[in-house]
Structure 1
Amino acid sequence: MVEVIELEGTDGSSSTAGIDDRLGEDYLADGPLSSYLGDTERVAFVIHAKRGGVTVEGDGDSETYKPTRGHRTLVAITDLRLVIAIGGADAGGDRVIPIPFSSVTRIDTESGLLRKRLLVHTEAGEQWSLPGGGDLQAIVSYLEECTAAWSQVNRFAVRIDEQLATAQDRLDDGEPDAARQAAEEVLSVIAAGREQVGTFDIGERVLAHADLDSYREAVRALQRRALATLADDHVERADRYEAAGRLRPAHAALRDARDAAAQARSIDADQPPDGEIEGRLQSVERDLARLEDQPRETATTALREAESIDDPQQRARRLADALSAHRDWLGLCWGPDAPFAGDPETIRERVLEIVDALVGAHTSVIERLLAAAERLHANGRTEQALAACDEADDRLAAAREVVAELAPDREPTVVQWRIATDHRRALIEYDVSRDGSEHSIERDDHVTSGRTSAGDDRSDHEETIVAGITARDPDSAESSGSDLDPTDTSSWVSITDDPDDSRDSAADHRATLDTEIQAMDESRFTEFIAACWRELGWETTIFAHSSAKYDIMAIRRRAIDLRVLIWTVHTPGQDLEASVVDRCVTDRDDTERADAAALVTTADVPEPVRQRAADHDIKLLDRDELLDLVEDERLADLVLDAE
């Protein structure tokens, strides 16, 4: 006899406790049917067979399990599975066989003359034949719906697993954004699965057992790791942009890093730890604050450095850099949403101040260039004089470009210097067309002395600077004999400034000069140094090394003559010894009427030796400074003349 009990569940009879009450007797050997069911399972049907057993067929074999005397066969059909309990069929104990709906592939029935059977096929290739009675259609319909619902669960679970694996692969391959997108897709699959399974009448109970939401923990872990990695990638991108000077993209990348780290922190997962993510956030906030202040700091530092430079040529170059930095700063802090620190109106005012300073620096260099052009022409070096005028023109063009764009009201200043430059060029070209030849300078082969016309024709207010020694004319109204400082090094003359596009060729030219100077022998080097001083308006006398304390005497003729003692040490590649400085000090102190002393050397100068010279007021002109003098004062042709 087989009884089919349908449990509606409205009165709680479908609970595990309600099942035992409905059965009313102990039909199993080891305990009630409820002991084989989970607390959360809800029972829809129970098949109760007094004598009927269960047969399983598969792989050509068949086996039947029957209850022992006094026991029964019970089949509980829940919302999760079939649970077959055969009393006493397993060595006196109950044989319990669970068949999850997720493994069921087909449900059939079989009717015979005396009995009906319920046939359950599984994906393992087994067919279970269960006792049945009465109308099995309700059971079949319920089982088919459960099987279909669980089939959907399995299908979506496979998709979820595949998508999780894809997300993990993307993360392992260093593609955190793709990993995050794949993890988001997992959530979409979970939502679709819940919606699809929910269309079944039993869908909610199936979903409760399937627990698709349990995948969300794995998704959260992937999302948190991907976002933390993405934040690091954004920081690296910001570093690259900043190194390239692209501050806006760098700032945007840091904001992206901050957002990604904040999102990672908001996700409930264990890795990376909260402390590590918090550290990322704090680091990004510091970088943002630093970057937002960087344009202001760069601009103010550039201006401060420019203002600290006395040489007008170098100051002009630095002021141009400061002007560019301030214009960049203005562009970055402009607009209501600009994140960079700075007040546009204040920056505009400072830009105009820099323009004034830059024009002033350019005109100072132009003034020096025109004076050099006059001197060079007076010394018969017309080609170099015209080249100095060309450089003055370049300076004027640079000044005019800045003024025209940023401060048109400063145009009259530039025009005045354009008139002065054109006038100087016209005078030189007129003399050349009139005379048809350049002046010549007489030189003595043994004791060289002389004064150039430039030295005689200098203005009473003019300074002469050679090797860092500045000699203001003692006859000038601006200085008296008591105020004369013949060793003042505060005002080095620099009259050239290679444009950016010609710096490579200038470097090549400098290297050529260096090579030629190093190739000189000691005697020719001394003659070359004397020629440099003489070219700049001094009388020079060369002494033989074997008979003199010093190598050159340079005299500047005025009401009060200025005498400079010069030693030359031509030893390229060797270190200058301190004893050489000591000898210069001794010989200078033993020489009457010596106003200043200079040591010109091609040797390498150790810092202690340089300091020793400074302490004893010996003006030291090293190899680089000698090259600066040659280039600045346009004495390159003297390098060849000394051969």
Structure 2
Amino acid sequence: MGLSLQGNASDVDDLLDQRQLDAYLGSDERLCHVLTNRRVGVERTEDGDTTKVTSGEDCGAVAALTDRRALLLVGDADRTDGDYAASLPYADIETADAVAELLTARLRFETGAGVTWEFTAREADIDEVAEFLREACGVWSEVRTALDALSEHCDALADALDSADWTAFDRYRADAETALETARQGADAAPVDGVEDRIDRLETELFRLVRDRHVARGEDLLAEARRSLDDRQYEASYDRIRTARERFRDATDVATTHDIDDEGAQAGWPPPTTWRRPSPGAR
């Protein structure tokens, strides 16, 4: 068997030695295409060095393309004690090709780490596989680009926070939230191993920075309120306290919405000195 467009794993289990193909799949992972070979195995190239992993005498190799990754398996492999397995999440694949040759088809994957994998199967009609890989890797190219942009925006947000440049902070925040939404939409469209974790980490980093922006602004306003009070500018002092309270509430709201701690907001409010709104005749 060379290719299964229905993703039927039962026909390839005799090519593996220790586990059936289904055992390698996650509970909600969908198998889309399967290619196989006997004796040829898999090739892995890194830094110009190529390693060939071939199967045992009564086994073969399987390239299983799921909705999340390319899974390369070699039964009773010559370089491992049992079956050999390599998992290539689409999020990590920079380029993927499926090319028909004279009597075979060749899959080629190049990862972001610079590692190239090749798999040859006795199957020449692979147009649907090629289209599938273009779509899968294309979606995750967009997600990867969005996540890289989000990471850069978080760095810019941290710099703006350090310099208390709130105008720049709010501009970068809008860009960061757009990148986050793009990444989320891609992940929802085609879940891929590892991507959700990275999105979650960057989302947490983003909203921790947003929380800290509100806390820092609240602390600045309290400092201004103290100076106004010292100058007997009671109305101005009260207004700054009220606005500071709003910023600390904003920080708490962000923390609650995104499940992060709000210790900074709680520590900043109420202020250590009690201010009261001055009476109309106060001087």
* TM-score, structure 2 normalization: 0.82
Shift of 1:94: 1.0
Alignment partners' CA distance in 2, 1:72 and 1:253: 73
Alignment partners' CA distance in 1, 2:268 and 2:111: 53
What SS does the aligned partner of 2:159 have?
Answer: helix
Contact 1:75–1:85 (CA<8 Å) still a contact in 2?
Answer: yes
Residues 521-566 of structure 1 deviation map (CA, whole Å, 9 limit, x = unaligned) = xxxxxxxxxxxxxxxxxxxxxxxxxxxxxxxxxxxxxxxxxxxxxx
Where is the strand percentage greater, Structure 1 or Structure 2? Answer: 2
Name 2:109's counterpart in structure 1.
120
Alignment partners' CA distance in 2, 1:92 and 1:232: 61
Which of 154, 163, 178 lines up with 2:153 in the alignment? 163
| Amino acid aligned to 2:236 | P
Residues 431-458 of structure 1 deviation map (CA, whole Å, 9 limit, x = unaligned) = xxxxxxxxxxxxxxxxxxxxxxxxxxxx
Name 2:4's counterpart in structure 1.
5
Name 1:598's counterpart in structure 2.
none
Shift of 1:175: 4.4
Residues 342-385 of structure 1 deviation map (CA, whole Å, 9 limit, x = unaligned) = xxxxxxxxxxxxxxxxxxxxxxxxxxxxxxxxxxxxxxxxxxxx
Alignment partners' CA distance in 2, 1:225 and 1:121: 40
Which of 127, 136, 147 lines up with 2:126 in the alignment? 136
Name 2:190's counterpart in structure 1.
205
Alignment partners' CA distance in 2, 1:50 and 1:129: 11
Contact 2:69–2:193 (CA<8 Å) still a contact in 1?
Answer: no
Change (3 A) 1:208 1:56: closer
Name 1:635's counterpart in structure 2.
none
Contact 2:29–2:68 (CA<8 Å) still a contact in 1?
Answer: yes
Counterparts of 1:63-82 in structure 2 under 5 Å? 63-82=51-70
Residues 214-244 of structure 1 deviation map (CA, whole Å, 9 limit, x = unaligned) = 1322222222222112111111112223333
Higher relative CO (Cα under 8 Å, sequence separation at least 6) belongs to 2
Contact 2:221–2:241 (CA<8 Å) still a contact in 1?
Answer: yes
1:99 paired with 2:98, answer: no
Name 1:55's counterpart in structure 2.
43
Shift of 1:169: 2.3
| Amino acid aligned to 2:60 | R
Change (3 A) 1:181 1:238: farther
Change (3 A) 1:115 1:26: closer
Shift of 1:189: 1.7
Alignment partners' CA distance in 2, 1:91 and 1:257: 63
Change (3 A) 1:56 1:5: same
Change (3 A) 1:213 1:108: closer
Name 2:75's counterpart in structure 1.
87
Name 1:384's counterpart in structure 2.
none
Alignment partners' CA distance in 2, 1:85 and 1:24: 11
Contact 2:98–2:126 (CA<8 Å) still a contact in 1?
Answer: no
* TM-score, structure 1 normalization: 0.39
What SS does the aligned partner of 1:117 have?
Answer: strand
Name 1:252's counterpart in structure 2.
239
Where is the helix percentage greater, Structure 1 or Structure 2? Answer: 1
Alignment partners' CA distance in 1, 2:24 and 2:182: 33
Change (3 A) 1:122 1:37: same
Alignment partners' CA distance in 2, 1:73 and 1:87: 6
Change (3 A) 1:292 1:43: farther
Alignment partners' CA distance in 2, 1:121 and 1:224: 39
Contact 1:150–1:206 (CA<8 Å) still a contact in 2?
Answer: no
Alignment partners' CA distance in 1, 2:24 and 2:222: 57
Contact 1:119–1:128 (CA<8 Å) still a contact in 2?
Answer: yes
Alignment partners' CA distance in 2, 1:183 and 1:194: 16
Contact 2:225–2:236 (CA<8 Å) still a contact in 1?
Answer: yes
Contact 1:55–1:65 (CA<8 Å) still a contact in 2?
Answer: yes
Counterparts of 1:294-333 in structure 2 under 5 Å? 295-296=280-281, 298=282, 325=283
**Identity level (%):** 19
Alignment partners' CA distance in 2, 1:136 and 1:60: 28
Residues 304-338 of structure 1 deviation map (CA, whole Å, 9 limit, x = unaligned) = xxxxxxxxxxxxxxxxxxxxx5xxxxxxxxxxxxx
Alignment partners' CA distance in 1, 2:50 and 2:271: 70
What SS does the aligned partner of 1:291 have?
Answer: coil
The structure number with the bigger radius of gyration is 1
| Amino acid aligned to 2:220 | D
1:225 paired with 2:224, answer: no
Structure 1: 5+ residue stretches without partners: 8-13, 299-324, 326-643
Alignment partners' CA distance in 1, 2:272 and 2:246: 10
Shift of 1:256: 1.2
Name 1:528's counterpart in structure 2.
none
Shift of 1:159: 0.6
Change (3 A) 1:148 1:184: same
Shift of 1:58: 5.2
Alignment partners' CA distance in 2, 1:236 and 1:59: 57
Contact 1:73–1:85 (CA<8 Å) still a contact in 2?
Answer: yes
Name 1:152's counterpart in structure 2.
142
Name 1:31's counterpart in structure 2.
19
Shift of 1:292: 3.0
| Amino acid aligned to 1:99 | L
Shift of 1:24: 6.9
Name 1:454's counterpart in structure 2.
none
Alignment partners' CA distance in 1, 2:266 and 2:28: 41
Alignment partners' CA distance in 2, 1:238 and 1:166: 29
Number of equivalenced pairs: 275
